């Protein structure tokens, strides 16, 4: 679906550039490493993961949804409901599914080793939103694909969610000093940068809170919401106790990191 891919790339580019400019104009925290030390590795992972996902599922989630519909697979293809209700239920279901996957990534050891690559960034900014190990990208793709087919989600809902997930991931990882009143208002519905930054704390107890990417309701509902880091946003330490040097941020270092054991206990 070339047109679907073009739209996704276009929206991604607009969101990314906008947030980079906002980070430059209103930064929240200084980075311990330069962008030239952190960004190439993260971008390398992003490219590898994107290519791998397209090779495994060339049609994307929307294409899978069209196929499931043509075969009559999935709950929503078997029952007659208003399109608005199906769409709303689909978006909520996908967001909850991604939230649940994120929780498992933290609590299942083999999954944590993949996801730890994301958390080992010693800073958090818009590029951190792209820093996922290709193995995690494929696991996430398989999980979302299973949800799309099992529930028979409509193609437009699957496509809308993928675009929204990418945009919100960039937004809530942004190193952007969002005014506190705005943050307080927005986080009643969606995950904000200050809310998600807590999740990137070096303290494991804090990292095991605020798992949401889009909606903030799931963390509150399941009792894993934390409003602010104990040390405060300026003093908190981001990342892991290990893998904090510039050498740890290279593409090769990030690819092999799941096979390494930490020098300090973080599991």
Which DSSP category does 261 fall into?
P
Q: Copy the structure tokens of residue 224.
A: 């894993």
187 inside domain: yes
CB neighbour burial string for 237-254, b if at least 16 within 10 angstroms, e if fewer: ebbbebbbeeebbeeebb
Taking a C-beta distance cutoff of 8 angstroms, is the pair 74, 149 a contact? Answer: yes
Domain span at 86: 2-247
229 inside domain: yes
Average pLDDT, the chain: 95
**Count of domains forming the chain:** 1
Contacts of 120 (CB under 8 A, 6+ apart): 239, 240, 242, 243, 244, 248, 257
The overall pTM is greater than 0.85 = yes
256 inside domain: no
Give percent of the chain above pLDDT 90.
93
pLDDT digits (tens, 9 = 90+) for 174-223: 999 999 999 999 999 999 999 999 999 999 999 999 999 999 999 999 99
265 inside domain: no
Q: Copy the structure tokens of residue 16.
A: 């990314």
pLDDT digits (tens, 9 = 90+) for 106-165: 999 999 999 999 999 999 999 999 999 999 999 999 999 999 999 999 999 999 999 999
Q: How many Cβ atoms from other residues are within 10 Å of residue 64's Cβ? A: 21
For residue 3, is pLDDT > 80? Answer: no
264 inside domain: no
254 inside domain: no
267 inside domain: no
37 inside domain: yes
User: d(Cα 262, Cα 267) in Å, to the nearest integer?
Assistant: 9
Q: Copy the structure tokens of residue 68.
A: 């499931």
Under the banding of pLDDT at 50, 70 and 90, the label for residue 265 is: very low
| pLDDT at res. 264 | 45
User: d(Cα 157, Cα 87) in Å, to the nearest integer?
Assistant: 6
| pLDDT at res. 2 | 59
């Amino acid at each position: 679906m070339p047109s679907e891919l073009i739209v996704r790339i276009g929206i991604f580019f607009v969101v990314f550039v906008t947030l980079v400019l906002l980070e430059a104009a209103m930064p929240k925290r200084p980075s311990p490493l330069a962008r030239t030390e952190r960004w190439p590795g993260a971008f390398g992972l992003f490219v590898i993961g994107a290519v791998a996902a397209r090779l495994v599922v060339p049609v994307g989630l929307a294409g899978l949804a069209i196929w499931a519909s043509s075969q009559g697979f999935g709950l929503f293809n078997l029952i007659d409901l208003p399109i608005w209700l199906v769409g709303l239920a689909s978006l909520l279901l996908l967001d909850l599914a991604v939230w649940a996957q994120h929780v498992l990534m933290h609590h299942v050891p083999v999954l944590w080793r993949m996801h730890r690559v994301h958390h080992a960034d010693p800073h958090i900014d818009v590029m951190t939103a792209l820093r996922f190990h290709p193995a995690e990208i494929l696991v996430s793709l398989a999980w979302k694909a299973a949800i799309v087919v099992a529930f028979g989600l409509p193609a437009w809902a699957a496509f809308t969610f993928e675009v929204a997930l990418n945009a919100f991931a960039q937004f809530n990882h942004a190193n952007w000093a969002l005014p506190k009143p705005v943050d307080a208002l927005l986080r009643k519905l969606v995950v904000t940068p200050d809310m998600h930054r807590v999740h990137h704390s070096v303290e494991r107890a804090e990292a095991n809170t605020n798992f949401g990417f889009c909606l903030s309701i799931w963390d509150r509902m399941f009792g894993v919401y934390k409003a602010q880091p104990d040390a405060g946003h300026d003093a908190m330490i981001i990342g892991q106790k290990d893998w904090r040097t510039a050498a740890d941020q290279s593409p090769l270092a990030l690819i092999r990191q799941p096979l390494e054991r930490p020098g300090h206990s973080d599991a």
